[in-house]
Amino acid sequence: MSTAIEHRQISAHAAPPVFVHSRPAIRLLPDKTLPEQRASELVCDRVRHALDECGYRALLTVEVQVHEGLVRLIGTVSWYYFKQRATAVVLPLDGVEQLRNELKVNSESQRQSALP
């Protein structure tokens, strides 16, 4: 599996720099020193790999953002269980100091998938 790396300039008034790992591209926002940037990149890769390998297809589309040890999970899942699994998979990883699980549960798709 290959992912693209894209660099973007951000104005001085923009939000804090964040390393984002989502499919299919990775965005690296360049307002950090190189070691901080590399640390965030490594944590982001570690989180993405753990979500990819946990065995739940629903977690393949989760966007991962890392900024100074804070990991944010963003996206939509069909069951609350998947949101819980994402937390359980990510929290014990090295480099994850804080986790903000912002996954939304789409209960409509949950009801539809439960129908015969």
Query: Has residue 65 been placed in a domain?
Result: yes
Kindly report, residue by residue over 52-62, the tens digit of the pLDDT: 999 999 999 99
The HSE-up count of residue 113 (CA atoms within 13 Å, CB side) is 9
Q: Does a structural domain hold residue 10?
A: no
For residue 62, being part of any structural domain is answered with: yes
CATH (domain of 96): 3.30.1340.30
In this predicted structure, the answer to whether residue 85 has a pLDDT above a threshold of 70 is yes
**8 assigned to some structural domain:** no
Amino acid type, 90:
V
Instruction: Examine the pLDDT at 98 and tell me if it is beyond 60.
Output: yes
* Count of domains observed in the chain: 1
State the average pLDDT over residues 13-37: 56
Q: Which domain holds residue 34?
A: 16-114
How much is the pLDDT for 37? 83
For range 84-113, the mean pLDDT: 87
pLDDT greater at residue 27 or residue 70: 70
Three-state helix/strand/coil letters over 46-78: HHHHHHHHCCCHHHCCCEEEEECCEEEEEEEEC
End-to-end CA distance of the chain: 35
Residue 102 has pLDDT above 90, yes or no: yes
The answer to whether residue 11 sits within a structural domain is: no
| Summary mean pLDDT of the chain | 77
Query: How are strands ordered across the β-sheet holding 19-21?
Result: 4-7, 25-28, 19-21, 63-67, 70-77, 98-105
Question: Is residue 75, in this structure, part of any structural domain at all?
Answer: yes
Domain membership of residue 6 (yes or no) is no
Q: Is 1 within a domain?
A: no
